Amino acid sequence: MILAGPPAAQALLDEARTRAAALPRRPELHVIRLGEDPASVSYVSLKEKKALEVGLGSTVHALPSATSQAELLSLIERLNADPAVSGLLVQLPLPAFIDSERVLNAISPEKDVDGFHPVNVGRLWTGAAALPPCTPAGVVRLLDYYGLPVAGQRVVIVGRSNIVGKPLAALLLARDATVTIAHSRTPDLAALTREADMVVAAAGRPHLITAEMIRPGAVVIDVGVNRVGQTKSGKAKLAGDVHPEVAEIAAALTPVPGGVGPMTVAHLIMNTVLAAERLQAGEQPS
C-alpha cells in the first residue's frame, strides 16, 4: 500500500477548519521571516496559503536580512503579548549573527506552533498538553488516517534530531509502541531494522534504507527529503531516505514527495488551532 500524504493532510485540514469555526475568535498565525532565501519564501507562502484555505488569519512579518537580534526579540515580545495572535513561528534558518536558540526560546510556549520550545519538549515527554513538532505529529496522523496500528509495534526510528527523531519517539511511546532510536553511530543498522514492525527513516541520506533491511510486511515511513539533482525543467529532483525497491517488500510505504511532507504543513495549521483553543479557553469572560 502506498500511503499518500495529500488525502490524510486534507482530512487534518478539514478538522482544523471545523474546530477553528467553533471558536469565539478566528485563530491567527503569525510567521516571522528574515531575508529573501527562496526556500524560506516558498515554505512561508505555503504555510500562509494553507492557513487562509481553512479560514485562519495569517500575517507574515517579512523583515530585512540585516534585522538585529534585539529588533527580532522585541517583535516576538510584542506578538507574545498580543491576545489576537494564536500561533507564532520564526522561519529557519536565521542569519548566522543571530542566536537561533535564544530567538526560539523567546517565543511563548503557548504560541509555539513549531513545538521547538524546551517547555513544549518537556510537556511532550511528560505527557502534558504540548504543541508537538509538526513533522512527527504529522507522521502519527498519517498512520491513524490509514488505520495502521501503533500500540504494541516494534518501531525503529533512524535519526535522532530534535525536530523529527526524538519527538517522534516520544509520540509513539505515548501510543504504546516499543521504540528504538538509531543514528549514525549505531552498529549494524540493518540487524535492527530487520526486526522492526515499523521503520521510520529520518536520516537525510538518499536511499539509505534498502529492501534487505526490511522485514517482509513491515510499515515504512520515509521522512527524508534529499535533493539529488535537477529535472530537465530545472526543478530540484527529490529522493527519500528509503530505496524505491522497498515498496516490493513492505506492507505500506510513504512516497517522496507526497508522503510525510504535506502532513507537516497540515499539522502546523492544526497546532495553530490547538493553540487558539487553549488560549481562548484560558481567557476570563468579560
The site for ligand NDP (CB under 6 A) is made up of 135, 158-161, 163-165, 182-186, 189, 202-205, 208, 223-226, 260-261, 264
**Inter-CA distances, 129 with 274, 277, 278, Å:** 10, 12, 10
Which CB, 267 or 279, lies closer to ligand NDP? 267
Question: Bridge-partner residues for 253, per DSSP?
Answer: 2, 220
How would you classify the pairing of strands 236-239 and 226-230? antiparallel
Marked catalytic residue, from 50, 112, 114, 166? 114
| Residue 238 backbone dihedrals phi, psi, to 5 degrees | -110, 145
Establish whether 147 is an annotated binding residue. no
Evaluate whether 95 touches 35 at the Cβ level (below 8 Å): yes
Nearer to ligand NDP, 79 or 219 (CB): 219
- Least CB distance from residue 183 to ligand NDP, whole Å? 4
Q: Which residue is catalytic, options 50, 91, 111, 166?
A: 91
Q: Cα–Cα distances in Å, from 88 out to 31, 84, 97, 220?
A: 6, 11, 22, 32
The annotation status of 225 as a binding-site residue, yes or no, is yes
Residue 114 a catalytic site member = yes
Grid cell in block for residue 31:
510567521
Q: Are residues 105 and 118 in contact, defined by beta-carbon separation less than 8 angstroms?
A: yes
Catalytic site includes residue 82: no
Give the nearest residue (CB) to ligand NDP.
Answer: 161
Q: Which of 47, 50, 111, 166 does the annotation list as catalytic?
A: 47
Residue placing its CB nearer to ligand NDP in the complex, 72 or 225: 225
Instruction: List binding-site positions.
Output: 159-161, 225
Catalytic residues: 47, 91, 114
